[in-house]
Chains A and B, each alone.
Chain A
Amino acid sequence: MNKTVNQKAWFFVIPVFVLVAFNAIIPLMTVVNYAFQETFGNNVFMWEGTRWFKQIMLSERFHASLGRQFLFTFIILFIQIPLGIAIALTMPKEGIGVPVCLVLMSMPLLIPWNVVGAMWNIFALPDIGFLGHSLNALGFDYNFTQQIGDAWFTTILMDVWHWTSLVVLLSYAGLRSIQPAYYQAAEIDGASRWAIFTKIELPKMKKVLTIAILLRFMDSFMIYTEPFVLTGGGPGNATAFLSIDLVKMALGQFDLGPAAAMSLIYFFIVLLVCWVFYTLMMRNEEKS
C-alpha cells in the first residue's frame, strides 16, 4: 500500500510509545546502571567499567548455559516447524472437523506456563505419572529427575507439546489463503503431491513460517517457567537454560553486577538474531 507522509501520525503512536517506554526504558537503564557498577546496598555505587562483562564473557558457566540454550532452541525448531507443517497439511479444510481441531489444538497455548510445568511433572513422574510409568513398564530405565538424557527428553517433549500448535495454526492460516485455482492448475498439469507442496504451498506459507520461526526462536530463547517447574534446571545444571541461570544469579545469589552484564549480553544476542530475521522478512515483503 502506498502510504502518505504525515508527521501528525506520531500523535496516534504516543500512547503506545509512552506505555512501552515506561516499562522498557526505565528498567533497562537500571540494568545498565548495575552492569557497570558495584553496589553494597544503600545506594552506594562504585564504577567498575567493563569488569562484569569480561567476567561473564570468560566464565565457563555462561558458555555452558549459552550452549545449552542454543542446542535446546535448535532442537525444538527442528522438530516443531516440520511437524507443525505436516499437521497443518493433513488438517481438514471444511466441516465440523475444522473448529474441533482448532479448539483442541489451541488448548496447550492457553495454559499458564507453570501449570504446564506442573502438569508434565505429574505426567512424567516415574512411579505415578502416565509417561514415566509406561516407559518403565516397557523396560526403559526412565527417571527425569536423575538422568540428564531423560531430563532433556522430557523438557523437549513438553515444549513440543506446548508450542507445536502455534506453528500448526500459523501454517494452517497460510494454507487457507491459497486460492483453489492454484490447485486446479496443478491438477491439470498433473503435478505430483511433492511438487504441489514445494512449488505452491511452501512459497505461500513463507511469510507465516517466518513469523512462526521468529516467535518460536524468541520464546524458546527466553524459556524459564516450564523447565524451572519441571526439572528446576537439574539434574545438576543439565537443563539450566539462560533465563534460569540468570534468575539464579540475580535473585538467588544477588550478584547484581554480573547478572546485569549477563542480561545485557543475553538481550543483545536475541536482538541480533531477530534483527537478521526481521530484515530478511521485510526484504521479502518488499519483493512480493
Chain B
Amino acid sequence: MKKAKWIVPTIYIIFLMLPIYWLLNMSFKTTTEIINTYTLWPQEFTLDNYKKIFTDSTWYTGYLNSIYYVVMNTVISVAAALPAAYAFSRYKFLGDKHLFFWLLTNRMAPPAVFALPFFQFYSSVNLFDTHVAVALSHCLFNIPLAVWILEGFMSSVPKELDETAYVDGYSFWRFFFKIFIPTITAGIGITMFFCFMFSWVELLLAKTLTAVAAKPIAATMTRTASTSGYELGLLAAAGSLTIIPGAIVIYFVRNYIAKGFALGRV
C-alpha cells in the first residue's frame, strides 16, 4: 500500500512532462526533419533555432519586454496591496465588505470584455505601446488577487503583535516595516509568485496594448506562426525559452509554496 501510493503522482507528472518534452524535442530538430519524419528524439541535433532567437533582436527584445513589465507589475501590485490588505485584516471601515467584493469582481472580469476599451483608453492617455501600460493593465486582476492572498496571511498573525509593538513605543510605519513585514515574508513570497505568474502568462491584454516598442515575447510568437509560414522548430524553441523564467521563480519559492500554502488563505 505504501509503495503503491507513489504511482498516482508519478503517472501525473509523466503526463505533465510529455507535452513539454515534445516541445523541447521539436526545438532541437531541423525544419526538414520535423516536416518529413516522425521521430521520438532529434536525429540531427541542432541549436540553430535557439541561435536565431538570441541573435535576432525582434526575438530577444520580446523576452526583455515581457520580463520588464512583469517585474514592474509585480512590484506595483504588492506595494499597493500591502497597506490595503493590512487595513482589511485589522480594521472595520465604511464599505469594507463591498469594497473587498468589488475588488474581487475585477479578478473575475473576462479580459476579452476589456480588450477594446483598454486599447482606446490607453491610446487616449498616450500610454499605448509602453511597458507601463501593460504593467498597469495587469493590475486589474493582480491587485485584487494580491490583496486577497495577503489578507489571508495577515489575518493569521495575532493582533497582539501590533499592540505589543505600540506599547514598546514603535510608530506605525516603523512597526509595519521592521516587525510586520518580516513576519509575513512567506506570504509576500507567495503573493509575488502569483502576481508574476498571472502577469507572465497573460497575453490578450499585453498584445492589445502593444505594437512594437513593448511587444511581449508571446505576441512575437503568434506573429511568426501566422506570417512566415509554419516554422515549427523556431516556434518550439521560443516556447521552450518562455518556460525558463517560470521554472526559476518556482525554484526560488518552492519552500514558501509548501509552508505558505498551509498558513494562508490560498
Contacts and interface: CB of A to CB of B under 8 A. Distances in A.
A122 B262 CA distance: 37
Contacts of B111: 222, 224, 243
Looking at chain B's contact residues, the main secondary structure is: helix
Contact of A90 (B5, B22, B94): B5
B18 A86 contact: no
B167 interface: no
A222 B239 contact: no
A3 B261 contact: no
A114 B111 CA distance: 15
A30 B114 CA distance: 9
Interface in B166-220: 197, 200-204, 217-218
Interface string A150-176: 000000000001001100111011001
Contacts of A104: 13, 16-17
A91 B222 contact: no
A78 interface: no
A79 B91 CA distance: 40
Interface string B117-134: 110110000000000000
Given A102-B258, A110-B201, A222-B111, A27 B80 contact: no
A87 B120 CA distance: 45
B108 A274 contact: yes
Contacts of A168: 12
Contacts of B147: 16
A20 B139 contact: yes
B59 interface: no
Interface string A73-102: 000000000000011001110000011011
Contact of A13 (B84, B105, B144, B262): B84
A21 B17 CA distance: 40
Contact of A122 (B117, B236, B265): B236
Q: Which 5 A-B pairs have the closest CB atoms?
A: A110-B246, A173-B261, A27-B117, A222-B110, A12-B87
Interface of A: 1, 3-10, 12-13, 15-17, 19-20, 22-24, 26-28, 30-31, 86-87, 90-92, 98-99, 101-115, 118-120, 122-123, 127-131, 133, 161, 164-165, 168-170, 172-173, 176-177, 207-208, 211, 218, 221-222, 224-225, 229, 242-244, 246-247, 250-251, 256, 259, 263, 266-267, 270-271, 274-275, 278
Interface of B: 5-9, 12-13, 15-20, 22-23, 26, 34-35, 38, 40, 76, 79-81, 83-84, 86-94, 96, 99, 101, 103-118, 120-121, 136-137, 139-140, 143-144, 147, 155, 159, 197, 200-204, 217-218, 221-222, 225, 232, 235-236, 239, 242-243, 245-247, 249-251, 254-255, 257-258, 261-262, 265-266
Given A12-B87, A176-B261, 20 more contacts: A3-B90, A9-B90, A16-B147, A20-B106, A20-B140, A90-B9, A92-B9, A99-B255, A102-B254, A111-B246, A112-B218, A118-B225, A118-B239, A122-B26, A128-B34, A173-B261, A176-B258, A222-B108, A243-B112, A274-B104
